[in-house]
Amino acid sequence: MENGKTIKELAEEFGVSKQAIRKQLTDDFRENYVQTNTANPSNQLVVTVAGYHILKSHFIKGFDRKPSSNQNEKVGGNVGGNLVTTLEQYNSDLKSEIHSKNEQIKSLQEALNYQQQLLDQQQQLNVDDKQLIQSLRQQLALENSETENATTTESTEEKASKDQRINELESQLQQEKENKQLSTKKWWQFWK
């Protein structure tokens, strides 16, 4: 490449079409880096060495070495090597992204399992509360039936004591329920 390369030679070397090379040949680029080969009857455009380096850096990323002076060098080998390097880097990037996504999935799965465990605990507490309420109602009904059998008429004092007993049992139930909820909550859930 003493005087430069034609568009066809550049397209073959970079592994792109001639149209892609021509697209990069703006008016400013043509003024500074392109010459017309008048020795050839078809007036071929020849890109100078400086223009060649600019185009090569555009089409082949990571190019930072000077071109080889060996004219017999295989054109496809250089492009293939750079393509392999680029694809390996792309593959490495994809693997790291997949690893990152897998870590996110793992973290979300752990959070989901924890939430499911909390939901199961809450449902178990609800079942326990319903059973306790049912047993208290049965106990109260039993007490009521025993007192009705003993005396057919109740004084207002007895009714008040029964109401007080009911209120005590309900407050006891409420206190037990709050204690259970507090014992299952973590420190960051106390304000809820």
Domain annotation covers residue 192: no
- Whether 92 and 180 map to the same domain: the answer is yes
The tens place of each residue's pLDDT in the chain, 192 residues long, gives 467 888 888 889 888 998 988 898 888 888 888 888 777 777 788 888 888 888 888 887 644 444 444 444 444 445 556 788 888 888 888 898 999 999 999 999 999 999 999 999 999 999 999 999 999 999 888 888 877 766 655 567 777 888 899 999 999 888 888 877 766 666 666 565
Rounded distance between C-alpha atoms, residue 177 and residue 192, angstroms: 15
Range of the domain at 141: 88-187
CB neighbours of 82 closer than 8 A, spacing ≥ 6?
60, 61, 62, 63
* Chain centre to alpha carbon of residue 122: 30
CB neighbours of 188 closer than 8 A, spacing ≥ 6?
none
- Whether 37 and 123 map to the same domain: the answer is no
Domain annotation covers residue 66: yes
- Whether 95 and 43 map to the same domain: the answer is no
**pTM recorded for the entire structure:** 0.34
- Whether 110 and 178 map to the same domain: the answer is yes
Alpha helices (H) in the chain, listed in sequence order: 7-14, 18-24, 27-33, 49-59, 75-150, 156-184
Residue indicated by tokens 């809820």? 192
Q: Which pLDDT does position 176 carry in this prediction?
A: 85
- Whether 50 and 110 map to the same domain: the answer is no
DSSP 8-state symbol, 189: G
Boundary of a domain, candidates 71, 96, 112:
71
Domain annotation covers residue 78: no
Number of domains in the chain: 2
Residue indicated by tokens 């059998």? 149
